[in-house]
Amino acid sequence: MALRPEKDTPGSDATEILATRAGYDRWAAIYDGEDNPLVALEEPQMAAALGSVAGLTVADIGCGTGRHALHLAAAGARVTALDFSEEMLRKARAKPGAAAVTFVVHDLAEPLPLAAATFDRVVCGLVVEHIRDLRGLFGEMRRICRPEGLIVVSAMHPAMMLRGITARFTDPQTGRDTRPQSHPHQIADFIMAGLAVGLRLDQVSEHAVDEALAGRMERARRYVGWPMLLMLRWRP
């Protein structure tokens, strides 16, 4: 059963949907400067799911402006980070510490240009909602992960789509609600895709904005109590 985002979301008439890569190329200019409640919610969950990464090899799949990649490299990991948005990668490469990360331009719809069984941790943060073929990507993440490694995936919770929300920003050039193309997967789609490629589900959790986050970030207030983040941790 496919989710169908509401059509009567306020402002949806003015929404501009872009191809995913073009959307992120445009978003890159302001991506890091936004107060993003999903990012705020995800960061501590990702850190907890990954554990200590000092001395480990890590692949950051869909690294964007390097939020996880740079943090993980600073924590002592050897990081390879992939994304298809040249503009997001340009921002990542310009940041302090970026020289320690190997950045690769790559479309995740294609097989990953990485050797089998080479990574202790495979991180995929807030990307899978943009991936049509989940089995293809999950299968590739399993292939590159060491047998004793972990694959940690975060996603915008599918319940957000029931409120008409997908990844989006207000384009300062046009003033319009602008969205890189998303694919409305359900939790079952994520889990069945992982199981279908032989992954073992190790942890699954769902997270909502609480009053503390809403207090720090006004933009989060309208989502208090609503599931916003899905975390999945797999073993190959």
Ligand X SMILES: C[S@@+](CC[C@H](N)C(=O)[O-])C[C@H]1O[C@@H](n2cnc3c(N)ncnc32)[C@H](O)[C@@H]1O
Binding site for ligand X (CB under 6 A): 20, 24, 62-64, 67-68, 83-85, 88, 107-109, 125-127, 130, 167
Q: Minimum distance from CB of 82 to ligand X (Å)?
A: 6
C-alpha closest to that of 227 among 154, 132, 127: 154
Q: Minimum distance from CB of 8 to ligand X (Å)?
A: 25
Q: Minimum distance from CB of 178 to ligand X (Å)?
A: 13
Cα–Cα dist 108/131, whole Å: 8
Question: What is the number of alpha carbons within 13 Å of residue 79 lying toward its C-beta?
Answer: 30
Q: Minimum distance from CB of 86 to ligand X (Å)?
A: 9
Q: Which residue is nearest to ligand X (CB)?
A: 64
C-alpha closest to that of 180 among 231, 129, 104: 129
Instruction: Compare residues 25 and 148 and give the one whose CB is closer to ligand X.
Output: 25
Instruction: Compare residues 96 and 147 and give the one whose CB is closer to ligand X.
Output: 96
Tokens 């302090």 -> residue: 96
Instruction: Compare residues 8 and 40 and give the one whose CB is closer to ligand X.
Output: 40
Q: Are strands 145-156 and 78-83 parallel, antiparallel or unpaired?
A: unpaired
Instruction: Compare residues 67 and 157 and give the one whose CB is closer to ligand X.
Output: 67
What angle do the packed helices 20-31 and 86-93 form, to 10 degrees?
30
Cα–Cα dist 70/57, whole Å: 13
Burial 90-127 (b: 16+ CB within 10 A, else e): ebbeeeeebeebebbebebeeebebeeeebbbbbbbbb
Q: Minimum distance from CB of 211 to ligand X (Å)?
A: 24
Instruction: Compare residues 64 and 139 and give the one whose CB is closer to ligand X.
Output: 64
Instruction: Compare residues 102 and 215 and give the one whose CB is closer to ligand X.
Output: 102
Q: Minimum distance from CB of 206 to ligand X (Å)?
A: 18
